[in-house]
Amino acid sequence: MFDLEIHKAFWDRRDIGRPLLGINVGFTLEHRFPLLMATISPGLVKPKDIRTDLFLEDCDRLYETHQNLGDYPLASAPFVGIPWMEAIMGCPIMASSSGFWAEHCVNDWKSWHWQQPTRDNPWTQKLLELTSTLVEHAKGRYPVAPTLMRGPSDILAALRGGANLPLDIFDEPDLIRKALAMCADVHVEVGKAQLSLIPESSQGYMAGDAALRTWAPRKIVWLQEDAMSLLSPSLYSEFIYPLDKRISGEYPCTAFHLHGSALWAIDELLQIPEIDVIELNLEDATCDIDATFAGWKKIQAHRPLVIWRMYGEDFESWLKRVLKEIPANGLSIQISTNNIDEAKIVRKIFYEAIKNTNI
């Protein structure tokens, strides 16, 4: 049962005595969208290859699987496996048996076509088709959110290749500013187009798909800049930060997804009032756990915080530390699991932990 009041409390950073809990079953695309993924052949992918009927069947199965698993309803978004913004901007999209990636398509910025995509772009049309069809199909059973769109630095890194991004900034700063501005413009246009298809709701809105979820009182979009990890703080501040501020101001609400490889960006992101929620991962790879905890505390002191991690054997001890060190007001914990059995373990550990904490 969806409890609107606890989500309002999260948004307002009011203490309800515990964090919110979200559990997601299935992490890889073949686990979450088996029917659709079974039809995708390795190699170049076109919009017509994304079968809407199978995607909707996979969404319904996910909806049934996620009943009564924590505080968050399942939120579905147009198939997040596709790097939509990169495709719309012109990158060829390639598939393997387990996922998708964007091939870079810019060999030289001076010779690039510099044509901003329009609504007639086949990938834009497919994205909006999936959005509208998903809204109609869900019929209010589960909320629909915009797809994962990433941010200007991510799009630019895909267009040119990640290794070239910092070099291009030094070699062609004016052209990079122009290209980044175009990416930001398209992000806003595509984001608003999706939001216009999501019906008004007295229950608020969900952002994200799978474990990257948050509630908001107004329509909301996720923003991220994973490619900031390729840049120095000063380059991010000069070239990307102004765009993140502008993009965030274009949407009714904005959530920002951040990796532990860019903890240095927290201070700057907190200076953008239009960013309403910040999510910071616990990375699977080796990371500075203490620095990540410090980052969570800094965010939670100023904004609603979403923590994401995969379930693992250390989950119980990790959760106890979170409950001990991070205040519960404005705190949401999102856990991804490989299967329903792990999801039930997470639910059991969580509710036992908060009961013992409150004793």
Confidence of residue 11 (pLDDT cuts 50, 70, 90): very high
For the residues 288-303, what does the mean pLDDT come to? 94
pLDDT at 354 over 90: yes
pLDDT at 267 over 60: yes
pLDDT at 287 over 80: no
Supply the pLDDT for residue 285: 63
Question: How would you classify the pairing of strands 93-95 and 205-207?
Answer: unpaired
**Nearest C-alpha neighbor of 54 from the set 83, 90, 29:** 29
Q: What is the pLDDT of residues 153-172, one digit of tens each?
A: 999 999 999 999 999 999 99
For the residues 332-345, what does the mean pLDDT come to? 95
Q: What is the pLDDT of residues 26-82, one digit of tens each?
A: 988 999 999 999 999 999 999 999 999 999 999 999 999 998 889 998 899 999 999
Which three-class secondary structure state does DSSP give residue 165?
Answer: helix
* Burial state string for 152-188 with b = 16 or more CB within 10 A and e = fewer than 16: bbbbbbbbbbbebbbebbeeeeebbeebbebbbbbbb
pLDDT at 359 over 70: no
Per the structure, the count of domains in the chain is 1
CB 237 within 8 A of CB 169: no
Which three-class secondary structure state does DSSP give residue 26?
Answer: coil
Which three-class secondary structure state does DSSP give residue 207?
Answer: strand
For the residues 295-320, what does the mean pLDDT come to? 96
**Nearest C-alpha neighbor of 153 from the set 263, 85, 240, 223:** 240
- If you average pLDDT over every residue of the chain, what do you get? 94
Helix residue ranges per DSSP H, 78-172:
84-88, 122-138, 152-160, 165-171
Determine the Cα angle at 8 with ends 297 and 211, to 5°. Answer: 60
DSSP 238: I
Which three-class secondary structure state does DSSP give residue 321?
Answer: helix
Paired residues of 308 in beta bridges: 281, 334
Which amino acid belongs to residue 216?
Answer: A
Supply the pLDDT for residue 208: 80
Domain of 194: which CATH number?
3.20.20.210
The HSE-up count of residue 70 (CA atoms within 13 Å, CB side) is 31
What is the span of the domain harbouring residue 298?
4-358
Whole-prediction pTM: 0.94
Classify residue 99 by burial, with Cβ atoms within 10 Å: 0-12, 13-18, 19+: middle
Supply the pLDDT for residue 284: 67
**Nearest C-alpha neighbor of 319 from the set 341, 296, 340, 303:** 296
Q: What is the pLDDT of residues 174-224, one digit of tens each?
A: 999 999 999 999 999 999 999 999 999 999 999 988 778 899 999 999 999
Supply the pLDDT for residue 288: 83
* Chain CA centroid to CA 229, Å: 17
Lowest mean pLDDT among 11-15, 205-209, 271-275, 278-282: 205-209
Confidence of residue 357 (pLDDT cuts 50, 70, 90): confident
- The first and second tokens of residue 329, run together, are 């007001």
Supply the pLDDT for residue 12: 97
**Nearest C-alpha neighbor of 265 from the set 290, 317, 229, 289:** 229
Structure-derived torsion over alpha carbons of residues 211, 217, 220, 222, reported in degrees to the nearest 10: -40
For the residues 220-245, what does the mean pLDDT come to? 96
